């Protein structure tokens, strides 16, 4: 890498707790988790109480301290993400927690150890059992909500910058959704790498994008392709596109010759946090994968040497698990050194999962929403954490160029 980046029962909401198990063993330890029993909106998130899971051979039971909330969670709830498990399932891509119990055959890890994991589903729970090989040690002293923000968002950003885009100092990049969880991670890591950065966002997200070193572009009231060519002349070297579909091809138009689009998401299939085709629309998990393939092929066939490169954190982790582990450890070290500071939009209790999905679906979230085990630490906003790079950046006023490009009458929602 270049210089760069060192059969549940429905309950109302607010949910009362219902039991999944009999009272045959009244002394059994119990816990709470969130379950999706039908595809649909936030109302399909059920709070249930049941006996704690027991670790099997090679597994570790983790008491979850923090679970991230992300757009892939919403897509799974709607039944349109390629990784969606069979119903019923518990959402939650990433977690940080404490080792509570180990199963037979587990060695080298003791109860009390803080660990991180990317289970893809299952993190919205008080306890979860995971294979030992899935756990990554978390250095002592880190805030659980900040640490969990690194697992999905920052590893995605770090790997796209270093492994997919392979960008070096002075390169120009365009980041879609620049005020969101992955977007703010790209901005922080991109600034460390010496990149010239532009980011599409709403008016709510523009100050954060500017303070993190990017030039915000009002995606609602301007054409980002026109704005990029107006600001740069020839286009950017890389576009990071988490929207997918036909948007990939528009992103390609913002490239200079020889540039590339790193396509990593399918959030264009959502509108307001719901299935874009409506509640009764078709739920095709793999159709967008075929669309990806079409645009990748088109990037090679059409003139201009503008490529489309797919990125998938889960597939890279499956193919190269040690790379995922090492990249996450590097990011933990950067967090420990306060060289990065994840923006936490909200900290909510586990039973507030529905509220978290509603907030994320409405858009305008700056950074990441996190479900925390300790309700006393919930409902905190992004900018009132420890002093760090974001708060220091807030004291730096941007040049006129770094005001909202294409600014006009701003719309609402989306970061």
In this predicted model, what pLDDT tens digit does every residue of 38-63 receive, in sequence order? 999 999 999 999 999 999 999 999 99
Q: Once rounded to an integer, what is the mean pLDDT over residues 204-214?
A: 96
The two three-digit tokens of residue 158, written as one number: 């770090």
pLDDT, one tens digit per residue, over 320-351 is 999 999 999 999 999 999 999 999 999 999 99
Which has the closest alpha carbon to 251: 204, 260, 26? 260
pTM of the entire predicted model: 0.84
**397: confidence class by pLDDT, cuts 50, 70, 90:** very low
Which has the closest alpha carbon to 362: 42, 15, 34? 42
Angle in degrees, CA 96, 101, 104, rounded to 5: 120
Please check the confidence at residue 13 and state whether its pLDDT lies above 50: no
Angle in degrees, CA 217, 219, 222, rounded to 5: 85
Please tell me the CATH superfamily of domain 149-317+391-402, with its number.
NAD(P)-binding Rossmann-like Domain (3.40.50.720)
Contact 155, 340 (CB under 8 A): no
Please tell me the CATH superfamily of domain 18-145, with its number.
Medium-chain alcohol dehydrogenases, catalytic domain (3.90.180.10)
As a whole number of angstroms, the distance between CA 308 and CA 200 comes to 19
Contact 43, 74 (CB under 8 A): no
As a whole number of angstroms, the distance between CA 347 and CA 372 comes to 6
Q: How many CA atoms lie within 13 A of 389 on its CB side?
A: 19
Residue ranges of domains in the chain: 18-145, 149-317+391-402
What is the three-class DSSP state of 19? strand
The two three-digit tokens of residue 23, written as one number: 């009272």
């Amino acid at each position: 890498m270049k210089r760069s980046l060192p059969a549940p029962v429905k309950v109302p909401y607010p949910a009362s707790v219902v039991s999944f198990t009999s009272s045959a063993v009244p002394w059994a330890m119990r816990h709470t988790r969130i379950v999706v029993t039908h595809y649909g909106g936030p109302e399909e998130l059920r709070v249930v109480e049941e006996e704690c899971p027991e670790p099997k051979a090679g597994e570790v039971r983790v008491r979850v301290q923090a679970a991230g909330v992300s757009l892939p969670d919403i897509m799974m709830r709607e039944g349109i993400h390629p990784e969606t498990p069979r119903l019923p399932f518990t959402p939650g891509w990433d977690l940080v927690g404490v080792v509570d119990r180990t199963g037979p055959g587990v060695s080298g890890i003791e109860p009390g150890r803080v660990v991180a994991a990317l289970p893809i589903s299952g993190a919205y729970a008080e306890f979860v059992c995971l294979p030992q090989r899935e756990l990554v040690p978390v250095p002592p002293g880190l805030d659980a909500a900040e640490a969990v923000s690194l697992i999905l968002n920052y590893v995605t950003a770090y790997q796209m910058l270093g492994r997919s885009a392979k960008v070096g100092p002075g390169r120009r990049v365009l980041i879609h959704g620049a005020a969101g969880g992955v977007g703010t991670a790209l901005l922080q890591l991109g600034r460390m790498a010496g990149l010239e950065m532009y980011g599409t966002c709403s008016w709510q997200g523009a100050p954060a994008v500017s303070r993190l070193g990017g030039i915000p572009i009002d995606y609602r009231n301007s054409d980002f392709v026109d704005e990029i060519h107006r600001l740069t002349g020839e286009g950017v070297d890389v576009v990071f596109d988490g929207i997918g579909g036909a948007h990939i091809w528009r992103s390609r138009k913002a490239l200079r010759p020889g540039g590339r689009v790193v396509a990593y998401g399918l959030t264009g299939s959502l509108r307001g946090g719901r299935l874009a085709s409506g509640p009764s629309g078709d739920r095709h998990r793999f159709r967008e994968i075929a669309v990806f393939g079409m645009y990748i092929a088109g990037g090679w066939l059409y003139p201009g040497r503008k490529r489309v490169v797919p990125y998938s954190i889960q597939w890279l982790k499956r193919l190269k698990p040690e790379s995922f582990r090492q990249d996450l450890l590097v990011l933990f070290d950067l967090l420990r050194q306060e060289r990065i500071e994840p923006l936490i939009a909200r900290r909510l209790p586990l039973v507030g999962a529905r509220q978290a999905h509603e907030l994320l679906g409405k858009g305008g979230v700056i950074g990441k929403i996190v479900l925390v085990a300790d309700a006393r630490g919930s409902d905190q906003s992004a900018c009132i954490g420890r002093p760090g790079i974001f708060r220091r950046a807030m004291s730096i006023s941007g040049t006129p160029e770094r005001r909202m490009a294409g600014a006009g009458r701003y719309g609402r929602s989306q970061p």
